[in-house]
């Protein structure tokens, strides 16, 4: 059967590869992406596997790649983005060695450059601080008295008298340095305390922020000079300086020496600047070269790691000469796998080619449905509810149309549909460019672009039928109602409203959709309500019958033919005889009762309420008809209804007991020891193991029966949400027009022009925001619920698991998300 009808047939294969060819073969299979490998070594610890050293190598390379990437990001260098065609293949062993060497070299270079630049920068900072100390202490030493007190002045002679007198005078020493401004004040206090006030501290702030120091960001610093007397104090002061992280610089007191030193420092600063610039250039060059290759390296390392992880799943065989692996492959892809293995063997020039062996198994294979970009959106919707069991009928095929259609029944408005179509068309036409945006909410809308397009197209059609364009109707074919009143009646003020009688006013049926006159009518909602409610029930019943019929397909495929008679027939009879009959009554009432008929019992006054008829049918009740009317719509309805109800009631014990009795009759006499054969394919509902006790079977079936019977009623009523949402949508649209847009028409001439322009802005924002976005999301959600619960509960098992093939595309995508 076709692609989407049910999931694909899967085969369990064993692969025999030579160890030399293993790497290349797995690389080829990874490119193809059609095998899901099974872990044959899952009891083995990760550290004891065969290829653990290779995985470690890969980890080391990955770490290096990450480090280089970090350095690139720090320097704001962009990496070129690789398109799908430019992606490199997994590296072969020769390339691996080259790659490792390159990565190591680049990483070491970067490390070296970082440490060099750190020390260069520290040096540079010191030079600058020294320079500022020398410049800022000009003021301190220029005053004469300080010069006299200066103890650092070189002694002129060894004149003992001079020495003595100098000692008697008390030699003032000083300490010059740089400290952070915020610390200066407590520094000053500390010095004051330890020197007991015998210290003279001058400071001069450095203008502008200084270079980053240990804090990492620029800070305010200040130059200080502390004058004091005595050697002990000097030691204490030096200790305090160390404690406050103040840098002490040797500063000569004489002006000449200072000038020399300044010149010297300036020269060294220039030299350092040149060296720093050159090393920055060098670093830039290294990083740019690395940036060109980094994208390819990342991909190659990721692919390598994935291959070795997969190789770890393989088992060496008894002889040790080849590796055995197991995996699931879709049957259609078996030739592809063969070719990939052949290519792998050729690349690695192995003498013995790898081969593949299909083995049969009782295990449930994974579920895989091949989808294209159109159907993948719908398949995702279904898979979100539950992955289909293996080879179960796939509801996504029908969801392609029923989902947008039921959405459209709730959303029917041509104007809003055009907005949806425009949005979806934009997303589809610009598919390629938009595919690379990774922002989450956008990807959700982008992934559903075909769904949105179909929803818009169907909404256009239902909008045409509901005759609703932004709450206005279009009159294409001419209304079928004509005015029956004459001028005097119309002008008469005492009757604000005039009702048209169908017999007189209605001369034709509007061919496509709702007659445009209803938009102007005061009792529009009464008419639309009856129409939309009946419409919802009709579609609901058909949708549910379709769902029940799907279960037959499942029964036939799983060869449970007895279930067709024991489960399907009573279910569909119950649904058809009760709710199908109600749908028939709706069509019958539409066709027979009209205002033109001569028979009084067929006039509108006598038209019975279908709901009342249905309730009386179920309860075998009767209702007194009005004068001239009949209770029933046609001859023999009484009899038919009784028969239907009785047969439907018989269906209930049929559903309840049929299957358990059948299982009891066909189950062979059980031996006491239960066999632990793997449960046959089939989920909780339909596949009971042979070991289940009969009480379980009865209870299960009772639950199913009660669930089904109640669900026929509740789900049928649930479809009335189609009516409810469509009513809400139409009313909201009308409110927006009447309360927002109409205000713009109250003005005339140029003011009117501007008023309409502004009001249109408000109206369109509200329309798109409330009616398209919010109502759209709401209708989407309700349609999804209708499909998941009302439709799929009739036949869907959903007990499968997804097929997750080993594919490089998936590996790279997952890596890109992290």
Partner 1 sequence: MGAAVLPILFFTSLWAAVGIGGSIITPHGPQRQLIQCILMLTAGCCWLFWLCCYMAQMNPLIGPRLSRRAIQIIADSWNMPIKEG
Residues 431-470 that bind partner 1 (CB under 8 A): 461-462, 465
* Binding of partner 1 by 336 (CB under 8 A): no
**Between residues 279 and 505, which has the closer beta carbon with respect to partner 1?**
505
* Binding of partner 1 by 725 (CB under 8 A): no
* Binding of partner 1 by 491 (CB under 8 A): yes
Q: How far apart are CA 667 and CA 766, in angstroms?
A: 65
* Binding of partner 1 by 791 (CB under 8 A): no
Residue 453 beta carbon to partner 1: minimum distance, rounded to whole angstroms: 13
Q: How far apart are CA 330 and CA 348, in angstroms?
A: 26
Residue 373 beta carbon to partner 1: minimum distance, rounded to whole angstroms: 12
Q: How far apart are CA 410 and CA 486, in angstroms?
A: 39
Half-sphere exposure of 399 (CA within 13 A, CB side): 28
The helix (H) or strand (E) run that includes residue 630 is none
* Binding of partner 1 by 792 (CB under 8 A): no
Query: Under a CB-based contact definition with an 8 Å cutoff, are residues 467 and 514 in contact?
Result: yes
**Between residues 497 and 750, which has the closer beta carbon with respect to partner 1?**
497
Q: Which of 214, 224, 160, 167 is nearest to 191 (CA)?
A: 224
**Between residues 165 and 482, which has the closer beta carbon with respect to partner 1?**
482
Of 67, 244, 531, 760, which lies in the binding site for partner 1, with binding defined by CB under 8 A?
Answer: 531
Query: Under a CB-based contact definition with an 8 Å cutoff, are residues 808 and 306 in contact?
Result: yes
Residue 735 beta carbon to partner 1: minimum distance, rounded to whole angstroms: 19
Region of 67-75, 202-210, 341-349, 587-595 interacting with partner 1 (CB under 8 A): 587-595
Hey, what's the torsion of the CAs at 801, 807, 812, 817, to 10 degrees? -10
**Between residues 30 and 395, which has the closer beta carbon with respect to partner 1?**
395
CA 529 remoteness from chain centre: 38
* Binding of partner 1 by 482 (CB under 8 A): yes
* Binding of partner 1 by 326 (CB under 8 A): no
Residue 479 beta carbon to partner 1: minimum distance, rounded to whole angstroms: 6
What DSSP state is assigned to residue 171? -
Within 10 Å of residue 570's Cβ, how many Cβ atoms? 23
* Binding of partner 1 by 539 (CB under 8 A): yes
Q: How far apart are CA 66 and CA 298, in angstroms?
A: 9
Q: Which single residue is written with the structure tokens 């008809």?
A: 625
Residue 531 beta carbon to partner 1: minimum distance, rounded to whole angstroms: 4
* Binding of partner 1 by 601 (CB under 8 A): no
Positions in 494-513 near partner 1 (CB under 8 A)? 495-502, 505-513
* Binding of partner 1 by 607 (CB under 8 A): yes
Region of 217-225, 242-250, 290-298, 478-486 interacting with partner 1 (CB under 8 A): 478-486
Residue 773 beta carbon to partner 1: minimum distance, rounded to whole angstroms: 25
Of 442, 587, 634, 745, which lies in the binding site for partner 1, with binding defined by CB under 8 A?
Answer: 587
* Binding of partner 1 by 530 (CB under 8 A): yes
* Binding of partner 1 by 670 (CB under 8 A): no
Count residues near partner 1 (CB under 8 A).
Answer: 76
Of 141, 174, 228, 398, which lies in the binding site for partner 1, with binding defined by CB under 8 A?
Answer: 398
Positions in 145-174 near partner 1 (CB under 8 A)? none
Q: Determine the 3-state secondary structure of 466 from DSSP.
A: helix
Of 297, 308, 518, 763, which lies in the binding site for partner 1, with binding defined by CB under 8 A?
Answer: 518
Of 410, 419, 455, 517, which lies in the binding site for partner 1, with binding defined by CB under 8 A?
Answer: 517
Within 10 Å of residue 391's Cβ, how many Cβ atoms? 19
Residue 535 beta carbon to partner 1: minimum distance, rounded to whole angstroms: 5
Residue 608 beta carbon to partner 1: minimum distance, rounded to whole angstroms: 11
Query: Under a CB-based contact definition with an 8 Å cutoff, are residues 618 and 582 in contact?
Result: no
**Between residues 319 and 488, which has the closer beta carbon with respect to partner 1?**
488
Query: Under a CB-based contact definition with an 8 Å cutoff, are residues 594 and 601 in contact?
Result: no
**Between residues 318 and 491, which has the closer beta carbon with respect to partner 1?**
491
* Binding of partner 1 by 745 (CB under 8 A): no
Q: Which of 610, 608, 621 is nearest to 582 (CA)?
A: 610
Region of 187-195, 536-544, 693-701, 803-811 interacting with partner 1 (CB under 8 A): 536-544
**Between residues 405 and 708, which has the closer beta carbon with respect to partner 1?**
405
b/e map of 210-238 (b: 16 or more CB within 10 Å)? beebeeeeebebbbbbbbbbeeebeebbe
* Binding of partner 1 by 534 (CB under 8 A): yes
**Between residues 192 and 587, which has the closer beta carbon with respect to partner 1?**
587
Q: Dihedrals φ, ψ of 675, to 5°? A: -95, 140
Of 115, 372, 600, 742, which lies in the binding site for partner 1, with binding defined by CB under 8 A?
Answer: 372
Query: Under a CB-based contact definition with an 8 Å cutoff, are residues 473 and 514 in contact?
Result: yes
* Binding of partner 1 by 634 (CB under 8 A): no
Query: Under a CB-based contact definition with an 8 Å cutoff, are residues 459 and 417 in contact?
Result: yes
Region of 35-43, 119-127, 490-498, 638-646 interacting with partner 1 (CB under 8 A): 490-498
Of 152, 171, 279, 592, which lies in the binding site for partner 1, with binding defined by CB under 8 A?
Answer: 592
What DSSP state is assigned to residue 631? S
Query: Under a CB-based contact definition with an 8 Å cutoff, are residues 480 and 515 in contact?
Result: yes
**Between residues 490 and 650, which has the closer beta carbon with respect to partner 1?**
490
* Binding of partner 1 by 342 (CB under 8 A): no
**Between residues 327 and 463, which has the closer beta carbon with respect to partner 1?**
463
Q: How far apart are CA 409 and CA 723, in angstroms?
A: 8
Q: How far apart are CA 480 and CA 508, in angstroms?
A: 5
Residue 399 beta carbon to partner 1: minimum distance, rounded to whole angstroms: 10
Q: Which residues contact 496 (CB under 8 A, 6 or more apart)?
A: none
β-bridge partners, 472 = 469
Of 43, 319, 436, 488, which lies in the binding site for partner 1, with binding defined by CB under 8 A?
Answer: 488
* Binding of partner 1 by 722 (CB under 8 A): no
Q: How far apart are CA 776 and CA 790, in angstroms?
A: 20
The CA distances from residue 189 to 34, 197, 251, 532, 698, in Å, are 77, 10, 23, 88, 92
Query: Under a CB-based contact definition with an 8 Å cutoff, are residues 649 and 620 in contact?
Result: no
Of 155, 274, 401, 422, which lies in the binding site for partner 1, with binding defined by CB under 8 A?
Answer: 401
Of 144, 157, 433, 486, which lies in the binding site for partner 1, with binding defined by CB under 8 A?
Answer: 486
State both tokens at 663: 């299982």
β-bridge partners, 221 = 180
Residue 607 beta carbon to partner 1: minimum distance, rounded to whole angstroms: 6
Positions in 764-783 near partner 1 (CB under 8 A)? none
Helices (H), 312-365: 334-347
The helix (H) or strand (E) run that includes residue 122 is helix 93-136
Residue 502 beta carbon to partner 1: minimum distance, rounded to whole angstroms: 4
Query: Under a CB-based contact definition with an 8 Å cutoff, are residues 517 and 478 in contact?
Result: no
Residue 583 beta carbon to partner 1: minimum distance, rounded to whole angstroms: 10
* Binding of partner 1 by 524 (CB under 8 A): yes
State both tokens at 158: 């060894």
* Binding of partner 1 by 738 (CB under 8 A): no
Put residue 659 in one of left, alpha, beta given phi > 0 → left and psi -120 to 50 → alpha. alpha
Residue 484 beta carbon to partner 1: minimum distance, rounded to whole angstroms: 8
């Amino acid at each position: 059967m076709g692609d989407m009808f049910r999931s694909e047939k899967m085969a369990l294969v064993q692969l025999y590869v030579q160890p030399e060819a293993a790497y290349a073969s797995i690389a080829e299979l990874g490119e193809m992406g059609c095998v899901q490998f099974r872990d044959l070594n899952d009891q083995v610890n990760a550290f004891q596997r065969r290829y653990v050293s290779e995985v470690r190598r890969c980890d080391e390379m990955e770490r290096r790649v990450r480090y280089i990437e970090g350095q690139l990001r720090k320097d704001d260098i962009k990496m070129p983005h690789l398109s799908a065609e430019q992606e490199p293949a997994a590296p072969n062993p020769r390339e691996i060695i080259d790659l490792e060497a390159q990565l190591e070299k680049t990483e070491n270079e970067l490390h070296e450059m970082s440490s060099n630049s750190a020390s260069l920068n520290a040096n540079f900072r010191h030079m600058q601080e020294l320079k500022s100390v020398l410049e800022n202490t000009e003021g301190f030493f220029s005053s004469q008295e300080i010069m006299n007190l200066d103890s650092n002045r070189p002694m002129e002679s060894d004149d003992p008298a001079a020495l003595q007198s100098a000692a008697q005078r008390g030699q003032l020493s000083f300490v010059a340095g740089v400290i952070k401004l915020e610390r200066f004040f407590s520094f000053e206090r500390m010095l004051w305390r330890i020197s007991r006030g015998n210290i003279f501290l001058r400071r001069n702030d450095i203008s502008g922020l200084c270079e980053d120091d240990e804090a990492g960001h620029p800070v305010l610093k200040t130059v200080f000079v502390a004058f004091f007397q005595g050697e002990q104090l000097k030691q204490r002061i030096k200790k305090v300086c160390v404690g406050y992280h103040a840098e002490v610089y040797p500063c000569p007191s004489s002006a000449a020496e200072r000038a020399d030193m300044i010149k010297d420092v300036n020269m060294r600063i220039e030299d350092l600047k040149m060296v720093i610039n050159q090393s920055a250039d060098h670093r830039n060059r290294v990083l740019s070269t690395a940036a060109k290759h980094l994208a390819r390296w990342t991909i190659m390392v990721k692919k390598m790691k994935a291959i070795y992880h997969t190789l770890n799943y393989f088992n060496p065989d008894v002889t040790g000469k080849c590796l055995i692996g197991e995996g699931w492959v879709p049957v259609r892809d078996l030739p592809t796998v063969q070719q990939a293995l052949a290519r792998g063997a050729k690349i690695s020039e192995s003498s013995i080619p790898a081969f593949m062996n299909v083995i049969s198994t009782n295990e449930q294979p994974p579920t895989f449905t091949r989808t294209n970009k159109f159907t993948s959106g719908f398949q995702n919707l279904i898979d979100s509810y539950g992955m289909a069991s293996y080879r179960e009928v796939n509801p996504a095929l029908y969801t392609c149309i029923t989902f947008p259609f039921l959405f459209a029944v709730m959303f029917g408005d041509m104007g809003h549909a055009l907005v949806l179509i425009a949005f979806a068309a934009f997303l589809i036409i610009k598919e390629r460019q938009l595919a690379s945006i990774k922002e989450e909410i956008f990807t959700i809308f982008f992934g559903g672009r075909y769904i949105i397009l179909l929803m818009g197209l169907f909404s256009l059609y239902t909008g045409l039928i509901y005759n609703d364009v932004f709450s206005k109707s279009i009159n294409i074919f001419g209304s079928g109602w004509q005015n029956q009143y004459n001028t005097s009646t119309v002008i008469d003020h005492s009757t604000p409203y005039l009702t048209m009688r169908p017999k007189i006013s209605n001369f034709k049926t509007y061919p496509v959709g709702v007659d445009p006159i209803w938009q102007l009518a005061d009792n529009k909602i009464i008419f639309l309500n009856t129409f939309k409610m009946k419409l919802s029930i009709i579609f609901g019943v058909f949708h549910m019958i379709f769902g029940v019929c799907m279960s037959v397909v499942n029964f036939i495929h799983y060869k449970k033919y007895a279930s067709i008679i024991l489960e399907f027939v009573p279910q569909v009879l119950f649904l058809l005889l009760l709710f199908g009959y109600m749908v028939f009554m709706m069509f019958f009432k539409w066709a027979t009762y009209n205002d033109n008929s001569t028979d009084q019992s067929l006039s509108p006054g006598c038209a019975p309420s279908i709901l009342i008829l249905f309730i009386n049918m179920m309860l075998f009740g009767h209702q007194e008809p009005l004068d001239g009317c009949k209770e029933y719509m046609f001859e023999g309805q009484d009899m038919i209804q009784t028969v239907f109800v009785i047969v439907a009631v018989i269906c209930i014990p049929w559903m309840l007991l049929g299957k358990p009795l059948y299982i009891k009759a066909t189950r062979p006499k059980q031996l006491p020891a239960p066999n632990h054969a793997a449960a046959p394919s089939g989920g909780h509902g339909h596949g009971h193991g042979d070991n289940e006790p009969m009480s379980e079977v009865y209870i299960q079936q009772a639950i199913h029966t009660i669930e089904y019977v109640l669900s026929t009623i509740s789900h049928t009523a649930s479809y009335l949400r189609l009516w409810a949402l469509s009513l809400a949508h139409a009313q909201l649209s009308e409110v927006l027009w009447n309360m927002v847009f109409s205000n713009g028409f109250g003005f005339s001439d140029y003011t009117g022009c501007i008023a309409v322009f502004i009001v249109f802005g408000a109206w369109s924002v509200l329309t798109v925001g409330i009616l398209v976005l919010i109502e759209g999301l709401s209708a989407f959600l309700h349609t999804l619920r209708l499909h998941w619960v009302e439709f799929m509960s009739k036949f869907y098992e959903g007990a499968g698991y997804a097929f997750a093939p080993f594919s490089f595309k998936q590996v790279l995508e997952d890596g890109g998300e992290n």
